[in-house]
């Protein structure tokens, strides 16, 4: 953990403290007493949060815990879509705006809770007509448009677990996810808008479905009007089938432990993990955290989480949490620099956004673009700022606070994972005195610790591994179809406790500082990509014999992907620009553009131990332009000198 030790030293100097203002405290949803309350009786605390939801039948057991398998609110019956929609309409909130949608080209739609409910009911009826029943898996591959949320809620309404695949993933990545979950239906769009132009999605679905699947239909939203190949045996236009459905649909209640969704995320091997979440516990924790961490006042706030529904943040803090709490949200389809670098700020001013939740990579990008863009817009409506996805460096935190938040908005740096389902470590606005760059402490009801190699808690002021030692309602219930892998990945490093994969430090005030992944998982712009996944994409190219991939510190994206490749015999041993371009395009095809290496270095040899294990640590030193660390265990001690000499680069030009 040499990199971690460096960061530890740096973090030791962060002494700034930002207490909440008296005005914020006076109106805050969260109270300091919640920590004690939860500590005294954790299960009673969670029961109280669960009572905020509408249940169709009460649970008989709060928690059934047989390590590592949890069941929450056992026996309870509930419907996710009813909690997100019907409840608000039934209680007279149907006219409240659920979404202010802004397309990238500037088209807008305002959708109330009543309208959203009607659309979800019609879509649920359409899914039923297409033969989808509870338990069937549905893959969703969409741009960031309201139909993405409608599709998810319609699946939830009929008990069909959704598997949302980020629209930036390739056909190959989509196919492997469709196959792994054995999806029966794919919901997609002809395309969407990004960077000022339409991009196509349907062709990727067509490509994917050339593989062997059990997909019977493809339901297609018309978004861009692009010419699309059509197979009338399989393809169905959304407007043809959804629009003619009845607006009546009585939701069925499902067991609290009924699967709600699968979401694939990268692990340390090439095969993505299908993280499985169920209903009652998940909804309880996303609603609770959304209310407390974002201090949501649904009557007056306009909330904007900039995440795509393809990631867990979009599931928990665009779809389920905010809708259950009756929030009014902004949803934006496009990129932050289209048509100009002030687009996000323009939208904050236009919709009077009061709560903004985004990622450090975007904050650092804004910093680079310059203060003139935010300064050109009225951001006074903002009252709370959130950050998620990767550690936020103190400089970016301070800039976020001063330039975006006008020095008046509390910042919540929220640590969690696809696996945890909901926020776990975060300040409580109105309670916590925050430090720039720290996620502070576990939320009331959550137990997290920093431990050493032996699983023993480290003392204050020390670093180690972050673990979660008590089950929580929104925890993953497993990896889809891979029980052994679930146990092995999360529960074997330290006996009986969940190992998150992150390094962390707990300072002398018991504030937690996240230090990044300690395994072979990279974090690029807040997205998890495994080194092995990129390596196997590279070696699947005819020119590559061997590949080693590392995540190197990157000022903008947190980490950048750097690949070292050995070419196959017979391939001219020059680091041709053409070949490197081709390799980068190949990775984009295999996984998606987000996994394209920032840099590819052609080498003669990789640094290996005598037992043949690649020493990525040394490659990381090279990639981060550091003196190469201890290489005495290398089989061939000269290899590192050769690699450092042979550095040849091809920078990402898009």
Q: How many CB atoms lie within 10 A of CB 145?
A: 21
Q: What is the CA radius of gyration of the chain?
A: 24
Q: Of 39 and 395, which has the nearer Cβ to ligand WT7?
A: 395
Residues of each annotated binding site: 194-197, 313, 389-391, 413-418, 502, 517, 525, 528, 539, 541, 544
Instruction: Decide if 165 contacts 187 (C-beta within 8 A).
Output: no
Neighbouring residues of 492: CB distance < 8 A, sequence distance ≥ 6: none
Q: Least distance to ligand WT7 from the beta carbon of 527, Å?
A: 6
Stretch that binds ligand WT7, among 46-54, 234-242, 376-384, 407-415 (CB under 6 A): 407-415
Is 506 a binding residue for ligand WT7 by CB under 6 A? The answer is no
On the CB side of 186, how many CA atoms lie within 13 Å of its CA? 32
**Torsion angle, alpha carbons of 125, 166, 268, 652, to 10:** 170
The owner of tokens 């500082």 is 513
Q: Which of 81, 245, 256, 265 binds ligand WT7 (CB under 6 A)?
A: 265
Distance between CA atoms of residues 5 and 11, nearest Å: 10
Is 558 a binding residue for ligand WT7 by CB under 6 A? The answer is no
Question: What is the total residue count of the chain?
Answer: 654
Is 523 a binding residue for ligand WT7 by CB under 6 A? The answer is yes
Distance between CA atoms of residues 353 and 379, nearest Å: 8
Instruction: Decide if 169 contacts 591 (C-beta within 8 A).
Output: yes
Q: Of 86 and 419, which has the nearer Cβ to ligand WT7?
A: 419
Q: Least distance to ligand WT7 from the beta carbon of 105, Å?
A: 28
The footprint of ligand WT7 on residues 155-214 (CB under 6 A) is: none
How many residues bind to ligand WT7 according to rule CB under 6 A? 22
Interior/surface letters 192-230, b for 16+ CB within 10 angstroms, e for the rest: bbbeeebebbbebbbebbeeebebebbbbbebbeeebee
Is 267 a binding residue for ligand WT7 by CB under 6 A? The answer is no
Tokens of 188: 């997609």
Residues of each annotated binding site for Mg(2+): 539, 541, 544
Cβ burial of 340 (10 Å; 0-12, 13-18, 19+) is exposed
The footprint of ligand WT7 on residues 105-144 (CB under 6 A) is: none
Stretch that binds ligand WT7, among 29-37, 85-93, 414-422, 629-637 (CB under 6 A): 414-422
Is 418 a binding residue for ligand WT7 by CB under 6 A? The answer is yes
Neighbouring residues of 51: CB distance < 8 A, sequence distance ≥ 6: none
Q: Which of 272, 389, 464, 560 binds ligand WT7 (CB under 6 A)?
A: 389
Q: Least distance to ligand WT7 from the beta carbon of 54, Å?
A: 27
Distance between CA atoms of residues 130 and 531, nearest Å: 39
Residues of each annotated binding site for CoA: 194-197, 313, 525
C-alpha distance from residue 215 to each of 207, 234, 467 (Å): 13, 9, 39
Q: Which of 500, 543, 547, 595 binds ligand WT7 (CB under 6 A)?
A: 500
Q: Least distance to ligand WT7 from the beta carbon of 224, Å?
A: 28
Q: Least distance to ligand WT7 from the beta carbon of 558, Å?
A: 9
The footprint of ligand WT7 on residues 369-388 (CB under 6 A) is: 388
Residues in touch with ligand WT7 (CB under 6 A): 265, 312-313, 388-391, 413-418, 439, 500-502, 514, 517, 523, 526, 528
């Amino acid at each position: 953990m040499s990199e971690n030790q460096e960061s530890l030293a740096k973090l030791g100097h962060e002494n700034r403290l930002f207490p909440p203002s008296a005005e914020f405290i006076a109106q805050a949803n969260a109270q300091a007493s919640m920590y004690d309350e939860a500590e005294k009786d954790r299960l009673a605390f969670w029961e109280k949060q669960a009572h905020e939801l509408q249940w169709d039948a009460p649970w008989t057991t709060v928690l059934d815990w047989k390590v590592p398998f949890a069941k929450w609110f056992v026996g309870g019956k509930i419907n996710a879509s009813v909690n997100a929609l019907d409840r608000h309409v039934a209680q007279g909130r149907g006219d409240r705006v659920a979404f202010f949608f802004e397309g990238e080209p500037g088209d807008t739609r305002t959708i109330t809770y009543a309208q959203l409910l009607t659309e979800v009911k019609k879509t649920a009826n359409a899914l039923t007509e297409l033969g989808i029943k509870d338990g069937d898996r549905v893959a969703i591959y969409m741009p960031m448009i309201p139909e993405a949320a409608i599709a998810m809620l319609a699946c939830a309404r009929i008990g069909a677990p959704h598997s949302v695949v980020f629209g930036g993933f390739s056909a190959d990545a989509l196919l492997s996810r469709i196959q792994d979950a054995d999806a029966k239906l794919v919901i997609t769009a002809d395309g969407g808008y990004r960077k000022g132009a339409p991009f196509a999605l349907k062709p990727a679905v067509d490509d994917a479905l050339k593989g062997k699947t059990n997909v019977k239909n493809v339901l297609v939203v018309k978004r861009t009007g692009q010419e699309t190949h059509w197979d009338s045996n399989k393809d169905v236009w959304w407007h043809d089938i959804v629009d003619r459905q009845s607006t009546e649909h009585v939701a069925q209640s499902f067991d609290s432990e009924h699967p709600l969704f699968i979401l694939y995320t990268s692990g340390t091997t090439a095969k993505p993990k299908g993280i499985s979440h169920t209903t009652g516990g998940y909804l309880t924790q996303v609603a609770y955290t959304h209310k407390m961490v974002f201090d949501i006042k649904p009557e007056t706030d306009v909330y904007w989480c900039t995440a795509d529904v393809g990631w867990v943040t979009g599931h928990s803090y665009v779809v389920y949490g905010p809708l259950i709490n009756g929030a009014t949200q902004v949803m934006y389809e496009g990129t932050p620099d289209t048509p100009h670098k002030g687009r996000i700020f323009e939208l904050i001013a236009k919709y009077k956004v009061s709560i903004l939740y985004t990622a450090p990579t975007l904050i650092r990008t804004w910093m680079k673009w310059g203060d003139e863009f935010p300064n050109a817009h009225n951001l006074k409506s903002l009252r709370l700022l959130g950050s998620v996805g990767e550690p936020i460096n103190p400089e970016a935190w301070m800039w976020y606070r001063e330039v975006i938040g006008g020095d008046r908005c509390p910042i919540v740096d929220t640590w969690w994972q696809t696996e945890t389902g909901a926020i776990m470590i975060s300040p409580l606005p109105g309670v916590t005195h925050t430090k720039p760059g720290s996620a502070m402490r576990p939320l009331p009801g959550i137990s997290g610790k920093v431990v050493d190699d032996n699983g023993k808690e480290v003392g204050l002021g020390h670093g180690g591994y972050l673990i979660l030692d008590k089950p929580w309602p929104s925890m993953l219930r497993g990896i889809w179809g891979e029980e052994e892998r679930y146990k092995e990945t999360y529960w074997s490093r330290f006996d009986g406790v969940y190992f998150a994969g992150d390094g962390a430090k707990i300072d002398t005030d018991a504030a937690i500082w996240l230090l990044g992944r300690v395994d072979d998982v990279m974090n690029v712009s807040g997205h998890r990509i495994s080194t092995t996944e990129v390596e196997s994409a590279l070696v699947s190219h005819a020119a590559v014999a061997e590949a080693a991939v590392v995540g190197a510190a990157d000022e903008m994206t947190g980490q950048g992907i750097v690949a070292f490749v050995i070419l196959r015999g017979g391939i001219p041993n020059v680091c041709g620009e053409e070949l490197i371009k081709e390799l980068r395009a190949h990775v984009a095809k295999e996984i998606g553009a987000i996994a394209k290496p920032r840099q590819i270095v052609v080498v003669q040899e990789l640094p290996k131990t005598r037992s043949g294990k690649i020493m990525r640590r040394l490659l990381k030193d090279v990639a981060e332009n550091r003196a190469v660390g201890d290489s005495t265990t290398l089989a061939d001690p000269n290899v590192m000198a050769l690699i450092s000499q042979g550095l040849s680069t091809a920078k990402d030009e898009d």
